[in-house]
Structure 1
Amino acid sequence: MQKVIAGYTVDVTQEGYLVNQSQWNKDIASEIAKELGIEDLTPGHWKVIEFLQKDFAETGKIPTIRRVNKVGNIGTQELYALFPEGPLLKATKIGGLSKPVSCV
């Protein structure tokens, strides 16, 4: 299905995750963040998003929270402070990645 986000028409899943990561950009990220209740993406948010995208590009898999902690050097408390109530779900959605398999 398609959805217009920040003026761009993108392909999304039923749950609103981008299907094609090449359609992602920072304007879309900011708009999705607002939909999820995050008004402004801070440098901390971008650090998480950029780690997720880089790790996914290298491994072909969405990293787990444990991997974000160990490899990304981003603590669980920091993740929950930046992306309350489901940090991996929100961060991957904002970052244009698919829904993590580990999340329901």
Structure 2
Amino acid sequence: MATKTIAGKTVQVNDEGFMTNPAEWTKEIAIEMAREEGIESLTDAHWKVIDYARQSAASSGASPTLRTITTGSGVSTKDLFALFPKGPAKKVAKIAGLGKPEGCV
């Protein structure tokens, strides 16, 4: 397993850059990963989705899908694409320190 230093902390990642141990995640890591994904700053709306994704993954054991995020967080699909352009479920999972969601290419 590869490692990567993000926000001054060395974490384990897979070959696509997804963290493999959600316990290593911090909000500082999320901020830096968001910048790498082209999101300059995380707003309260971003954090609502990220926090929901982490809670969902903790209870289900898997990264939430787009439908799960929109249903559970109350954020519409349109708003989710505005917050996390070009593949929101994948970006949310990466920024939230989770694995790649099932069904994402």
TM-score (norm 2): 0.95
CA distances 1:39-73 after superposition (whole Å, capped 9, x unpaired): 10010100000000111111112222112222221
Aligned equivalent of 1:63 = 64
- Structure 2, unmatched stretches of 5+, are none
Moved more, 13-22 or 64-73: 64-73
Moved more, 41-50 or 52-61: 52-61
Q: Counterparts in 2 of 1:17-96, with a 5 A limit?
A: 17-96=18-97
Moved over 2 A (4+): none
Letter in 1 for 2:33: I
Letter in 2 for 1:29: A
Superposed displacement of residue 6, structure 1: 0.8
CA distances 1:12-53 after superposition (whole Å, capped 9, x unpaired): 011110011111001110000001110100101000000001
CA RMSD of aligned residues (A): 0.9
Equivalent residue pairs, number: 104
TM-score (norm 1): 0.95
**What percentage of residue pairs aligned between the two structures are identical?**
47
CA distances 1:57-96 after superposition (whole Å, capped 9, x unpaired): 1111222211222222111011000000000111100000
Give secondary structure in 1 for the equivalent of 2:4: strand
